[in-house]
Amino acid sequence: MEKVVFVQCASYTPDQVADALERLLTPLGGMANYVRPGQKVLLKPNMLAARLPEEAVTTHPALVACVVRAVVAAGGEALVGDSPGIGSMARVGEKSGIREAVEAAGGRMAAFDEICVVEGIGTFRRLDLARTYCEADVVINLPKLKTHEMMTLTCGVKNLYGAVVGAAKAGLHLTAGRSKELFAGLLLEIAQARPVALTIVDGITAMEGNGPNSGTPRSLGLLLAGENPIAVDTVAARIAGIPPELLPVEREARRRGLPGTEFDQIQLCGDLLLPPVVQPFRLPEGLDVQFGLPGFLKVLLRNQLTPLPEAIEKNCVLCGICRDACPPQAITLQKNALKVNSGRCIRCWCCRELCPHHALKVKKSLLLRMIGG
């Protein structure tokens, strides 16, 4: 059985988080069950972009600091790193408050700048992961629970995409981003290539709507933890009220026969007997309605059934960040206007994820609007 623990935590005050973390880890044997004295322990929070903690884009610094303290108390050396979607780790660490919190707690930031080539175990034969991440004795995954325009949910499995070093991300998006199933397979293979010891989810304030960067903070008051990130995500999605058919990672994990996708494989522990029932999370606008369609129909109706990014002229400052990040180079800036080539666009939504000015909206075809997609 895959054990998943969830506990309530009403706020990010250090005492409350420390108390909740202890209750969270006790059923798993405590931090000492994962960290031995002298080990290098890499904590991998979500450091997507340089945003303030209250915007709920990044893992909250209070939780990162508490986990650092627990690692140090177990005798480990706590390193914290990620490969942000936009900007440097130094900039994201500064604005999110993570760097200051980590250093005050006795840990240190460790850049993901050096590549370690890992031999893939499935479809992807080569993965360029961060050396710091690969060579740590122990990895602890610290995702933020958020909706995600491409994958519906970003939590335990999707957070590990940050182990791919900067420029290699765009290449993998281009290769795998044409199909959600393929991209989900890539995420699962990254998670398997370098397994994490533990996943601890920041669900105290989560994000709903147009996540992972432009959604709305949603107070949930929960921390979740487990050894298997797939099982943790299954429970997180159930709490968020997201149906399994909208979760490519869960569907692909089930297709591959990986454990953790079924509730009868999961032992729930923690403050409550069952996950709390909450109002289902608002889903991102960019989700398409391709699920379950045969392949040829997906190709035929692609432009009708999948929304397309479109610039909001009054917000767009033509900075070019989205153009430079677009894996298939579908964005051009011509005559003071941003254009998206619908034929090239693979609907990975990296542009919306990375635009610092919230200047891209979701454009839906008439058919898509008529069927309520």
Q: Interface with ligand SF4 by CB under 6 A: which residues? A: 309, 311, 316-322, 326-328, 330-331, 338, 340, 345-351, 355, 357, 359-360
Least CB distance to ligand SF4 at residue 209 (A): 17
Residue nearer to ligand SF4 on the CB measure, 278 or 318: 318
Q: Least distance from C-beta 207 to ligand SF4, angstroms?
A: 19
Using alpha carbons, select from 72, 168, 46 the residue that is nearest to residue 115: 168
What's 215's DSSP letter? S
Give 116 or 289: the residue with its C-beta nearer to ligand SF4.
289
Angle at 121 (CA atoms; ends 116, 127), nearest 5 degrees: 30
The residue among 201 and 340 lying less far from ligand SF4, judged by its C-beta, is 340
Cα–Cα nearest to 64, from 83, 45, 41, 90: 45
The span from the CA of 242 to the CA of 237, in Å, is 5
Q: Closest separation between CB of residue 214 and ligand SF4, Å? A: 11
**Between residues 101 and 368, which has the closer beta carbon with respect to ligand SF4?**
368
Closest residue by Cα to residue 280 from 248, 316, 318, 236? 236
- The DSSP element (H or E) to which 2 belongs, if any, is strand 2-8
Residue closer to ligand SF4 by CB (options 42, 311) is 311
If the CB atoms of residues 142 and 331 are measured against ligand SF4, the closer one turns out to be 331
Q: How far is the CB of 130 from ligand SF4 (least distance, A)?
A: 23
- Minimum gap (Å) between residue 198 Cβ and ligand SF4: 32
Phi, psi of 232 (to 5 degrees): -60, -45
Distance CA 113, CA 124 (A): 21
Looking at the Cβ atoms of 81 and 212, the one nearer to ligand SF4 is 212
Least distance in angstroms from the C-beta of 195 to ligand SF4: 29
Query: Is 44 in contact with 81 (CB distance < 8 Å)?
Result: yes
Residue 319 CB, nearest approach to ligand SF4 (Å): 4
Quickly count: other Cβ atoms within 10 Å of residue 337's Cβ.
Answer: 11
Q: How many CB atoms lie within 10 A of CB 277?
A: 9
What is the nearest approach in angstroms of ligand SF4 to the Cβ of residue 303?
A: 12
- Give the span between the Cα atoms of 95 and 40, in whole angstroms: 26
Question: 145 vs 355, which CB is nearer to ligand SF4?
Answer: 355
Q: Rounded to whole angstroms, how far apart are CA atoms 184 and 200? A: 21
C-beta separation of 227 from 371 below 8 A: no
